[in-house]
């Protein structure tokens, strides 16, 4: 992909990773991702972020196509994660910039990543501004969105925000703009990205959006470091979506997540689903043998109720359920109703363990159901009634 001039003398010079399948521990199959970075040709040529190390050749080619016989004067490092800073040391060595700008936490991360001795690093806390010629760059720290070092770089003359991971999606495309692709697919991938990376930092998102509003910044373009860029009215659309995601308002939906040994827990899950559906709650069953935990998390994201199921296994629960619950707890979903189901042979700890996980995530817990070995008609009836009880709790929650 050749460089794309997004405004006069401002270029996208990123790399498309068609083959990426795992990203931050979640699945991006079959969509891949992009590593977006940007070059501003001004009196001081300024590079905003780099790309993953394996795309050093691509970055060199793109830089050569735009730079000609000029050099890079300044580098802005919005985020030190290796998919964005993977080529930083190589760029510094080759181009020997006058300044490298990063946030206060970014400086600490840069030292820990690269162990440099003589880089010309300058810290730019929120509100700092530098002049690069016809343009200025203003810096806004966005700590924990989603790393402590994260910051946003804004160019008022062009009304462009370079937002690193915020507003990103993992989608390898030949297109560069949100208005060039299917909108429904774009939003699905934005939600997927948010649910699996940004979700635990939703309070930071709300605070950042409020701060940007107070600063009265105007946006012609929002340029994240992954996926498609936004221009025109799509900037407001992207910010509105992030506001909605961060508020975590549940919908009339339930997701049943389970693993099963000899299909008893699976039968129970289907009975619970029937009770929910018959009461008008949309429900999705997801077996952990068939679904990646990141796909499950997308369903959990806006569901009002989360039902988890596992048979007792070694006085606990099956490993795939333990993996899912560990992953979910780390992402800290809010405003959920929870319940548990499971079958057992002799010791019966499954629902106690599952319920503890739900309580640890501050979910409003509905009475669990467990059965010995294979559920009979009475046990299935209890599961069906549990589904109805969860549905009643969902309706009460949604008002």
Q: Which residues contact 316 (CB under 8 A, 6 or more apart)?
A: 322, 349, 350, 353
CATH of 254-393, one of 3.30.420.40, 3.40.50.360, 3.40.50.2300, 3.40.50.1580: 3.40.50.360
Domain boundaries, the chain: 4-247, 254-393
State the catalytic residues. Answer: 24, 79, 81, 83, 146, 165, 193, 226
pLDDT digits (tens, 9 = 90+) for 221-275: 999 999 999 999 999 999 999 999 999 999 999 999 999 988 989 999 999 999 9
* pLDDT reported for residue 290: 93
pLDDT of 171 strictly over 70: yes
> Sorting pLDDT into bands at 50, 70 and 90, what band is 346?
confident
In this structure, what is the dihedral angle of CA atoms 294, 109, 18, 327, given to the nearest 10 degrees?
Answer: -10
Cβ atoms of residues 10 and 47 within 8 Å: no
Whole-number average pLDDT of the chain: 93
Q: Domain 4-247 has what CATH class?
A: alpha beta
In degrees, rounded to 5, the angle at the alpha carbon of residue 51 between the alpha carbons of residues 332 and 180 is: 80
* pLDDT reported for residue 20: 80
Out of 25-34, 223-232, 285-294, 306-315, which region has the weakest mean confidence (pLDDT)?
25-34
* pLDDT reported for residue 84: 83
Distance of alpha carbon 334 from alpha carbon 92, whole angstroms = 43
pLDDT of 24 strictly over 90: no
- Confidence (pTM): 0.91
> Sorting pLDDT into bands at 50, 70 and 90, what band is 101?
very high
């Amino acid at each position: 992909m050749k460089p794309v001039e997004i405004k006069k003398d401002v270029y996208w010079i990123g790399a498309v990773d068609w083959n990426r399948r795992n990203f931050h521990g979640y699945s991006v199959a079959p969509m891949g991702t992009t590593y977006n970075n940007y070059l501003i040709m001004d009196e001081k040529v300024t590079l905003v972020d780099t790309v993953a190390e394996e795309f050093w050749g691509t970055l060199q080619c793109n830089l050569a196509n735009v730079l000609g016989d000029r050099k890079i004067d300044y580098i802005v490092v919005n985020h030190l994660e290796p998919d964005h800073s993977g080529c930083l040391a190589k760029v510094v060595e080759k181009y020997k910039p006058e300044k490298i700008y990063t946030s206060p936490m970014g400086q600490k991360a840069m030292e820990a990543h690269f162990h440099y001795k003589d880089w010309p690093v300058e810290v730019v806390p929120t509100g700092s501004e530098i002049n690069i010629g016809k343009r200025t760059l203003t810096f806004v720290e966005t700590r924990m969105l989603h790393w402590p070092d994260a910051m946003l770089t804004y160019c008022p003359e062009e009304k462009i925000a370079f937002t690193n991971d915020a507003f990103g999606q993992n989608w390898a495309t030949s297109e560069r703009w949100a208005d060039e692709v299917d909108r429904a697919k774009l939003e699905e991938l934005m939600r997927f990205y948010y649910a699996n990376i940004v979700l635990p930092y939703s309070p930071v998102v709300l605070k950042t959006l409020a701060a940007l509003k107070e600063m009265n910044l105007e946006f012609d373009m929002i340029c994240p470091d992954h996926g498609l860029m936004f221009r025109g009215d799509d900037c407001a659309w992207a910010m509105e979506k992030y506001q909605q995601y961060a508020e975590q308002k549940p919908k009339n939906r339930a997701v049943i997540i389970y693993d099963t040994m000899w299909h008893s827990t699976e039968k129970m899950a289907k009975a619970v689903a029937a009770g929910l559906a018959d009461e008008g709650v949309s429900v999705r069953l997801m077996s952990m043998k068939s679904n990646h935990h990141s796909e499950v998390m997308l369903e959990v994201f806006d569901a009002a109720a989360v039902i988890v199921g596992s048979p007792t296994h070694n006085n606990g629960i099956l490993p795939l359920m333990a993996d899912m619950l560990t992953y979910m707890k780390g992402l800290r979903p809010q405003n959920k109703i929870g319940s548990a189901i499971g079958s057992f042979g002799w010791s019966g700890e499954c629902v106690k363990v599952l319920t503890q996980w739900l309580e640890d995530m501050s979910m409003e817990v509905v009475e669990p159901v467990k059965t010995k070995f294979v559920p009979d008609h009475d046990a299935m009836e209890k599961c069906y009634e549990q589904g109805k009880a969860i549905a009643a709790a969902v309706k009460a929650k949604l008002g």
